[in-house]
Amino acid sequence: MIEICEVGPRDGLQNECKLVTTKDKVELINRLIEAGITYIEAVSFVNPKVVPQMADAEEVLLQLPKDKGVRYGGLVLSRSGLNRALQTDIDYLHVVTTTSDTFNLRNAKRTVNQAVSELTDVIKEGIHSNKRAAGVLGTVFGCPFEGKVSLDKVLFVAEEFLRAGCTELTLADTTGMANPNQVQTVVQACKDRFDKDLSLGLHFHNTRGLGLANTLAGYQAGVRRFDSSIAGMGGCPFAPKAVGNVCTEDMVNMFHGMNIETNTDLKKLLETSKWLENIMGRPLDGMLMKAGIS
């Protein structure tokens, strides 16, 4: 069984020039739920002056259904983000740092060690406030400024987040630099270092066309939780050339073709992608929405 964390409402929309209304964001999430998605990264608690696309996080959460067995995640990058999150009923704090010093210094004005020091306190405080915390590690598979990122640095950050109380980890390929062999190597290193029952997820971008190949490599290495974005939308405002995420319906189609269950309705996912394309007013990147279900 595959668990999908749908990041379209957050990662999918945050890099768009067009500001999607709160009403349409809520409609998107409701459509995803009707298609069977039960884990959604719905919002981001970041500075609205920096990422205005996410400024309405609190309003979105107030309008989401709470009785359909869906868990909602919200991105947290700092203590100020935590303070906003704790004023809402968000289920999971998705606490994020990259694992590259250069990337972190350029975008957060702090080293990885400095970020870990602050964010481990954020994790502990969030858990003390009855939230659950999932750690998200960016640039795991490569940094656009440094190139290769040390696996030791990745494992260090992962260990600190787990020690602080994270119940899940997601390894993110921030700018789509991963390849399938590398994915299997990194996943195996995490399995060797940490408890074999660690809930490990993967987050890929399709910048160089390897998103689904890397997803399959992760599956073959034993991972069963994957981030993806409806219609292949996505990108990072702080990362050059970071294009869309792995496309949800394309990924579901791949797994269904392999007789691997996802508990989602592929037809409804396609309908949602086409609806979203109309909302955005431009062609989106998903492939299945163009080719159709065979």
Query: What is the identity of the amino acid at 243?
Result: V
Task: Work out the average pLDDT over 190-218.
Answer: 94
Q: What number is the average pLDDT over the span 123-152?
A: 96
Q: Which of 2, 91, 80 lies closest to 43, judged by CA?
A: 91
Structure-model confidence comparison of residues 236 and 170, the more confident one: 170
Give the pLDDT band (50/70/90) at residue 110: very high
Q: How far apart are CA 140 and CA 285, in angstroms?
A: 24
* pLDDT over 90 (residue 15): no
Q: pTM value?
A: 0.96
Q: Per-residue pLDDT tens for 164-200?
A: 999 999 999 998 999 999 999 999 999 999 987 789 9
294 band by pLDDT with thresholds 50, 70 and 90: confident
In 194-210, which positions are buried (b, 16+ CB within 10 angstroms) versus exposed (e)?
Answer: eeeeeebbbbbbbbbeb
Binned at pLDDT 50, 70 and 90, residue 242 comes out as: low
pLDDT of 68-88, one tens digit each?
999 999 999 999 999 999 999
Beta strands in the chain (DSSP E): 3-6, 39-44, 71-76, 92-98, 132-138, 168-173, 199-204, 225-228
Query: Distance between CA 180 and CA 216 in Å, rounded?
Result: 8
What is the number of structural domains in the chain? 1
Domain residues for 236? 3-291
Examine the residue annotation and report whether 166 is marked as an active-site residue of this protein: no
CATH of the domain at 124: 3.20.20.70
Distance in angstroms (rounded) separating the CA atoms of residues 195 and 247: 30
pLDDT of residue 239: 62
Instruction: Tell whether the model's pLDDT for residue 57 goes beyond 90.
Output: yes
Burial of 163 (0-12, 13-18, 19+ CB in 10 A): exposed
Cα–Cα distance measured from residue 30 to residue 27, given in angstroms and rounded to the nearest whole number:
5
Residues 5, 143, 166, 236: which is the catalytic one?
236
Q: Percent of the chain having pLDDT more than 90? A: 89
